[in-house]
Chain A
Amino acid sequence: MSESTYRIQGATGEWEVVIGLEVHAQVTSNAKLFSGASTAFGAEPNTQVSLVDAAMPGMLPVPNRECIRQAVRTGMAIEAQINKWSRFDRKNYFYADLPQGYQISQLYHPIVGEGALHIEADEKAGIPQDKTIGIERIHVEQDAGKLMHDQHPTMSYVDLNRTGIALMEIVSKPDMRSPAEAGAYVRKLRSILRYVGSCDGNMEEGSMRADVNVSVRKPGEEFGTRTETKNVNSVRFVMQVIEYEANRQVDVLENGGTVDQETRLFDPGTGTTRTMRSKEDAHDYRYFPDPDLLPLELDDSFIEECRASLPELPDAKRARYENELGLTPYNARELTAEVETFGRFETLLAAAAAKIGKPEAKVATQVANWALSVAPGVVKSLGDEANMANATAERQASILAMQDKGEISGGQAKEIYEIVLKEGGEPEAIADERGLKQVSDTGAIEAKIDEIIAANEDKVAEYRGGKEKLFGFFVGQTMKAMQGKANPAVVNQLLKAKLDN
């Protein structure tokens, strides 16, 4: 494993940070893990609560097949072992957001075993080389409800809408060594989940949150005592927690103290963490197999169906973009990072290839440049004036096709796209009506060239005498005379023919 060079500089020397993450990802499913209640976000409090969620007497959990399926597909996407036999356990504790008095989870026999996630080198971010982060397990469990403390002067209100929603807890090995690696891990995991469609990855709505385990050690020594900071809900915060915790722990150790194994809370306002509960106050969760549920046994056809339904995943897609489409590693990485980005790119690529009449691989670089740099530049320059509803793949493909055929220049392509975004309309018509086309008419260009040659006999003589650099001057003059609308390739060709005669 390539090791990070990230170090905390302490008074006694360098310290290495060891990081493990437990990411809770809400499973995309219309119904909760063990009840038929809806999972839509943002509903009125307590409107999405079944009798099972409210833990009414005699109510029983029944596993939701879709949630299990999504967990299995996610496991496959991180190259993990799928356990055909798993079991649900009860984690017992009392809290007002937990109606049953226990959370149904999987301690002893998780549905997904060991897997791996690859993060890419990113010099700028401080990741010198590609790195593989081990995944310990994924298990499925119920989410808890939400307490509202600001609704009543002396009481707390309970909203059970979230109670019982399925979560995947994705537990990494303590393989990360810097905030940057942890950030890259969370981003990559989020990307995979969104590719697979098993979690929407929306960290603001709490669909993804991380428990951050941090310890420090002198390089080469045994792992130190770790702290766990709960419920961190953005990549930036995850990195902040690590930075703060690592430095705090180094301070504690260098001042002769010991790090307490404890649960901590992150305060985004101050960027600091504080003790939530110490090991002494730790709950005894009294885990035991849930007797309301039989062990979960997956048959081969179910597993095959899950495998067959997996889309092309980020790493494979990136490799294909580089190897088959001939894109640069940078472009390939940018385009495959997000589901939306590659989705738009692939739609545009297909449309452009069809319009141009060439295989996708032949036009991919042009389309990628358009999608990553040209088009976003135009959008950005327009600001609020851009109506993105006008930016259909068909219209963009038409612009690219005209450009490919030499009908319009790069500048004209941008101009046309600007008009499309502001006003709508079809690019071909815009080009025609507004004169935004290059002139490839050799007659018109030749006439101008003749005039320029006639007016610059001295320069022609110099050129013909060996001062070839002057060719650019003639191109510039011709383009100027054509008001920038001449096809540069045609201008080049005609100029060459005339000057070299």
Chain B
Amino acid sequence: MTDFTNLGVKEIRDGVAGGDFTAREVAESFNAAVAAAAELNAFIVTTPDHALAAADATDAKRAKGEDLGKMGGVPIGMKDLFATKGVQTTAASHILEGFKPEYESTVSQKLWDAGAGMLGKLNLDQFAMGSSNETSYFGNVNSPWKKDGTNAAMSPGGSSGGSSSAVAARIAPAATGTDTGGSIRQPAAFTGICGIKPTYGRCSRWGVVAFASSLDQAGPMARSVEDCAIMLEAMAGFDPKDATSLQMDVPDWETALSSDLKGKKVGIPKEYRMEGTDQAILDSWEQGKAMLRDAGAEIVDVSLPHTKYALPAYYIIAPAEASSNLARYDGVRYGLRVLPEGAGLQDMYAATRAAGFGDEVKRRVLIGTYVLSAGFYDAYYTQAQKIRTLVAQDFEKAFATCDVILAPTTPTASFPLGSLNEDPLTMYLNDVFAVPASLAGLPAMSVPAMVNSDGLPLGLQLVGKPFDEQGVLNAGLAIQQRAGFDAQPEKWW
């Protein structure tokens, strides 16, 4: 059997369309790779039959000369935050273990309609809360990467850690992610792949288990900018079932890709030069500037003065929304129910939620409940919303003088699993560069830039104007072409 697992989205799609190989061959190849990679723990459930059925449908269409769709013949991993009809959907939480929805999320349905197939449901931080993929009820995900000279298990980032691990390990050509405060970009950076969070509202949230509604956005994770563009086109689009969905046409991002940045201005935010940032990260940032200058862009300094307030504001707004969004997991209608002998309704709630939610989820529900409480609301939530407005205004002002912003994705490279467990604040700091774009709802992408002296990948982040995914993708492409990032994790699983 030929190994197709090194192929990306575009190569598979074009190869199947061109008759170089069949979609079934590709699906079988990835199904086998998934089955052999159990040690990564990237998948909570695998769905080889779904992948094969979709592949067969694509092959049948090709035989009839029909259009194969934007993702025709491409098997992908589906983050287990997307509801998939008849397939267990858990958000990596015990409280939803065994839950099989009667419905399919808009984004996953759009992907199946575009010809993609599903390899399985990808592990994640529980309810997408985490930056290391250690909060999953189904065990942590391992990164395929190892720090040079060590055998320590490394974090694939979070919350889309199953997605990043699977794509980096080449057991999936691409995967869906969701990004609330960096959950696509940080894991992409940690594993040397690309990931884009589009403008808030581009991808429907219908059928995606909610973490923080005003921030949650789905996006693709893949190994090239082109693949991200293709897959994002398949995922995006107005959905009348989501009141926050953008009523805009989906541009043809793939066709309009161009790494020629002549006439473009790239802003460098001085406030992102933070204490505690690795020197290697700062070096990669410098290299990024040089690459974009080489692509024809002008580099300009910009200021985002409220950056340092963004993370604290995020850790008020996101838990506040989460505390309310997660109230529905109460043991009454679906999922886990713990009913101690003689328990009343309130006892059942308490027992169910105590057993069903992990520690990080409980922590955030408690934080969120606290900041919304009478007497604290104005001091926390109202203030945080004001900061959110100021952060968005910072970007607006910066984009008056530049077209796209270049920054590091994370302050450090991946870290060993377990090393930050006792220190949630340091863990939260991992998203310090990612969160501002989330608060402002802006399109933002991470592309791999280089490996550090430990042999671990580092990512660069591009943040664009509202709706300008194209500008972000183009700048990402310019970096991709110049960085020549071709490092691969050595297979140990």
Contacts and interface: CB of A to CB of B under 8 A. Distances in A.
Interface of A: 51, 54-63, 90, 92, 94-96, 99-102, 156, 158, 284, 286-288, 291-294
A94 B330 contact: yes
Given A96-B332, A293-B243, A294-B244, A57 B96 contact: yes
Given A288-B377, A288-B381, A292-B244, A58 B210 contact: yes
Given A156-B345, A286-B377, 9 more contacts: A55-B333, A62-B241, A95-B345, A99-B332, A158-B332, A286-B373, A288-B381, A291-B212, A292-B210
A60 B330 contact: no
B241 A60 contact: yes
B213 A291 contact: yes
B209 A96 contact: no
Contacts of B346: 94
Contact of B99 (A51, A57, A102, A158): A57
Contacts of A288: 320-321, 324, 372, 377, 381
Contact of A100 (B96, B101, B328): B328
A291 B214 contact: yes
Contact of B372 (A158, A286, A292): A286
8 contacts: A56-B103, A95-B345, A102-B327, A284-B374, A286-B323, A286-B324, A292-B243, A294-B243
B369 interface: yes
Interface in B308-329: 320-321, 323-324, 326-328
B102 interface: yes
Nearest to A293: B243
Interface string B5-39: 00000000000000000000000000000000000
B485 interface: no
A101 B206 contact: no
A287 B207 CA distance: 24
A59 B206 contact: yes
Interface of A is mostly: loop
Query: Which 7 pairs between the two chains have the least Cβ-Cβ distance?
Result: A101-B327, A286-B372, A291-B214, A291-B213, A55-B328, A58-B207, A57-B209
B334 interface: yes
Contacts of B214: 291
Interface in B372-388: 372-374, 377, 381
Interface in B231-262: 240-244
Contacts of A102: 324, 327
B89 interface: yes
Contact of A292 (B99, B213, B323): B213
Interface string B141-167: 000000000000000000000000000
B488 interface: no
B349 interface: yes
Interface of B: 82-83, 89, 91, 96, 99, 101-103, 105, 205-210, 212-214, 240-244, 320-321, 323-324, 326-328, 330, 332-334, 345-346, 349, 369, 372-374, 377, 381
Contacts of B89: 57
B411 to A, nearest CB: 28
Contacts of B374: 284, 286
A47 B462 CA distance: 49
B321 A58 contact: no
Nearest to B331: A96
A51 B102 contact: yes
Nearest to A93: B327
B208 A58 contact: yes
B126 to A, nearest CB: 13
A158 B331 CA distance: 13
A214 to B, nearest CB: 24
Which of B324, B326, B372, B381 counts the most A-chain CB atoms under 10 A from its CB?
Answer: B324
Contacts of A291: 212-214, 321
A58 B332 contact: no
A103 to B, nearest CB: 11
A62 B333 contact: no
A100 B328 CA distance: 5
A448 B52 CA distance: 108
B331 to A, nearest CB: 10
A59 B206 CA distance: 6
B328 A51 contact: no
A57 B328 contact: yes
A99 B334 CA distance: 11
A15 B105 CA distance: 61
Contacts of B345: 95-96, 156
A90 B205 CA distance: 18
A378 B373 CA distance: 64
Contacts of A54: 333
Contacts of A94: 327, 330, 346, 349
Nearest to A284: B374
A61 B105 CA distance: 15
Nearest to B350: A94
A185 B167 CA distance: 67
